[in-house]
Amino acid sequence: MLEFLDDFLKSEVKKSKIFPHLKCSVEEAKILKYMTKKYLTSDEEVNVFELLVELYGEKDYEYIKRLPLIKNLLDLGWIIYGSFSNFQTNENTNLELLHANITLSISFLKLLEDGNLEFALPDIKPYSDHLEYLKDQFARIELYQKLSTSKHNLNTKSPNISRVQNELKLLEKIIDERIKVTKNEIEVEKIFKEHHLSDKEKIIFLALLKEEYSASEGTLRDMNALIDLISFNDYERIENRSLLEDNSKLIEEKIVDYDEVLNPFGGISRTFFIPEDILQRVIYPNKKRKSKKIKLNMLIKNQDIFELIEPKTTLNDVVLNEETKKTLNSLLKQMDKKVLNRLKEWGITQKKRGIDAKIIFYGPPGTGKTLTALSFAKSLKKQVLSLDCSKILSMYVGESEKNVRKIFDTYKDLTKQSKTEPVLLLNEADQFLSARTSSPGSSADKMHNQMQNIFLEQIERFEGVLIATTNLLETIDTAFSRRFNYKIEFKKPTFKERIKLWEMMLPKSAKFEKDFDIKKLAKFNLTGGQINLVVKNCAYKVAVKDEPIFTMQDFIEEIKKERASTFEYEKSMGFLN
């Protein structure tokens, strides 16, 4: 291992064993020798100015004349920019390099260690099994990664890039030849054919498969890293993003999926993975495949308890109190994949995917609890099985014990058959969660207590994400309170939030009177649901006018009616941003 390193450090650079591979001048090789000595004494990165001054001195700005040597070593791929340098490519003037930090490249370190950069290619023979095939494909992805790194740090004419491209071309040719002579079709190749994947889609799939096999949270799960693998310039990066958008073949045909997680800057980023059913096909190609999962929307037709909802909005589309939004974003962060892997390592959970969470949304009617629950599910990329508790209870009078169990049994059956984990939404769960009677006298009290005991037991055993909405937290039985991981309050909107709600809900294409002032409307202390109702009622009134123009007076009249409850209050699911 030390043979070539020792020779390079002790010999004249021109006579060293690796010099013919460097394709550089003697003076450039001396710079590499100097940097190697620094590297071995823990100075991984060096400053160009300090390096040149130490080697050539400051007299007559002699060091500046040597800047082209640094430029050429960058172009050759023997050095790259350091982590504290602002440069991403080599398309810079010589003077710009003067205060850059540089470090030895992986290619140069490999040359020091092995004495050459030859790539060990497999023989052209049939693949004996899928693991042998994957070994070659993963080696191929590693070369794509090298190219991606080189493209960021070197110009495209670099010999280093050419070398890797040649290795990649040769390896891809050998893989194709080996596939042709392999009699039993490989499962990954079957998947490619079934879905008619393009070459770029195949590379994305193989890169993610490599991550799955290494059981890591590596950089290849990130969208930008995946796009960089298959892109040669900025234009291609923009064009290739479509391969991982929601309407792409990989996502729509569920060959690839993603989790959305909060990044340190408050935004949401995507982490991609291979779905479990596809992964099982690849890992156990000879295992008899079970029947395909049945879609949840087909199963839902055969029961009368749940409504299936496909959420359309995310948390970014909902106007919420800042504290509430902060809590929800924190909760979303706690439910990402990295957290799950950490919990698995600690032995807290054995689940392959997803984290259990039992959540209560509480607050006045119209503050957006239900819509937020749907938006939260959308951020988790889950469907929603919604249950209106008030209707269920009225349907099940006299059969509480049997039917409370039926709610959770039906949920389990649906998730098992569909192989999905939708969010279970218990809307208006006040009666389910309210305090039990300590000394039940009537049969109704006994039935209510019995129903609650069973409900308590089912909550305790529940696996998945459950959200219950209620108007009053104070009435909840303490036994239930302890079993919910999170209790999130929904407050009435502030003045600023009401301005946002009015701006959002007022019809964009309608005409308004001169000097129409949203701020005056926002002074009325209404919830989002009430604002939505007032806007609708106003629209009905204005639409029948000969001159359909919205006036402040129209809204104030409807607001007064709403506040005085002179017409039936229409319950709203929430409000959108």
Instruction: Identify the DSSP state of 52.
Output: H
Residue 35: φ, ψ to 5°: -65, -35
Return the axis-axis angle of helices 528-543 and 552-564, rounded to nearest 10°: 130
Residue 156 scores a pLDDT above 90: no
Comparing 250 with 80, which gets the higher pLDDT? 250
pLDDT at 390: 67
For domain 296-489, give the CATH superfamily.
P-loop containing nucleotide triphosphate hydrolases (3.40.50.300)
The predicted model gives 337-352 an average pLDDT of 70
Predicted pLDDT at 189: 94
In which band, very low, low, confident or very high, does the pLDDT at 121 lie, cut at 50, 70 and 90? Answer: low
10 Å Cβ neighbour count for 217? 14
Is pLDDT of 200 > 90? yes
Query: For residue 419, what pLDDT is reported?
Result: 81
pLDDT at 370 over 50: yes
pLDDT at 478 over 80: no
pLDDT-derived band of residue 122, with 50, 70 and 90 as boundaries?
A: low
Provide long-range contacts, Cβ within 8 A and 24+ apart, for 206-211.
Answer: 206/137, 206/138, 206/140, 206/141, 207/141, 207/144, 208/256, 208/272, 208/273, 208/274, 209/134, 209/137, 209/274, 209/279, 209/282, 210/137, 210/138, 210/141, 211/273
Tell me whether strands 511-512 and 486-489 are parallel, antiparallel or unpaired: unpaired
pLDDT at 155 over 90: no
214-269: pLDDT as tens digits: 865 567 788 888 999 998 888 888 999 999 988 889 988 889 988 776 555 555 67
How much is the average pLDDT of 119-125? 63
Residue ranges per domain, the chain? 3-114, 130-283, 296-489, 495-564
Q: Regarding predicted confidence, which is higher, 327 or 519?
A: 519
Helices (H) and strands (E) in the chain — how many of each?
27, 13
pLDDT at 107: 79
Q: What is the pLDDT of residues 443-456, one digit of tens each?
A: 666 777 777 788 88
Is 287 or 518 the better-scoring residue by pLDDT? Answer: 518
| Whole-number percent of the chain with pLDDT over 90 | 29
Between the alpha carbon of residue 252 and those of residues 128, 195, 244, 255, the distances in Å are 33, 11, 10, 8
Tokens of 391: 């209707």
Looking at residue 464, the DSSP 8-state letter turns out to be S
At residue 267, the pLDDT reads 59
Q: Count the Cβ atoms, other than its own, within 10 Å of residue 40.
A: 11
Average pLDDT over residues 422-438: 78
Does 282 score more than 80 pLDDT?
yes
Distance CA 130, CA 125 (A): 14
Residues 6+ apart with CB under 8 A from 183: 126
For residue 293, what pLDDT is reported? 53
pLDDT at 223: 87
Is 148 a residue whose pLDDT tops 70?
A: yes
Of 352 and 461, the structure prediction assigns the larger pLDDT to 461
User: In whole angstroms, how far apart are CA 382 and each of 85, 275, 556?
Assistant: 42, 14, 40
CB-count exposure of residue 327 (10 Å: 0-12, 13-18, 19+): middle
Model confidence at 576, in pLDDT bands (50, 70, 90)? very low
pLDDT tens column, 62-75? 889 999 999 888 87
**Cβ atoms 466, 412 nearer than 8 A:** no
Helices 199-214/130-153 angle, 10° precision: 110
The whole-number pLDDT of residue 242 equals 92
> pLDDT tens digit string along 544-567?
988 999 999 999 999 998 888 644
How high is the pLDDT of residue 15? 92
Reduce the DSSP state of residue 193 to 3 states and report it: helix
Which pLDDT does position 393 carry in this prediction? 59
Judged against a pLDDT cut of 90, whether residue 392 lies above it is answered with: no
**Four-way CATH pick for 495-564: 3.40.50.1860, 1.10.8.60, 1.25.40.340, 3.30.450.60:** 1.10.8.60
What tokens appear for 400 in the block? Answer: 């509480």
Res 34 pLDDT > 90: yes
pLDDT at 573: 39
- Which helix (H) or strand (E) segment holds residue 6: the answer is helix 3-10
Instruction: Report, as an integer, the average pLDDT of 79-92.
Output: 61
Amino acid making up residue 70: I
**Averaged over 27-43, what is the pLDDT?**
91
pLDDT at position 423, please?
A: 93
Q: What are 108-118's pLDDT values in tens digits?
A: 888 898 887 66
Can you tell me the distance from the alpha carbon of 433 to that of 436, in angstroms, rounded to the nearest whole number?
Answer: 9
Q: Is 345 left (phi over 0), alpha (psi -120 to 50) or beta?
A: alpha
Are 296-489 and 495-564 the same fold in CATH? Answer: no
Mean pLDDT over the full length of the chain = 82
pLDDT of 334 above 90: no
Decide which of 196 and 379 is more confident: 196
Kindly list the distances between the CA atom of residue 8 and the CA atoms of 18, 22, 118, in Å, as whole numbers in the listed order.
7, 12, 19
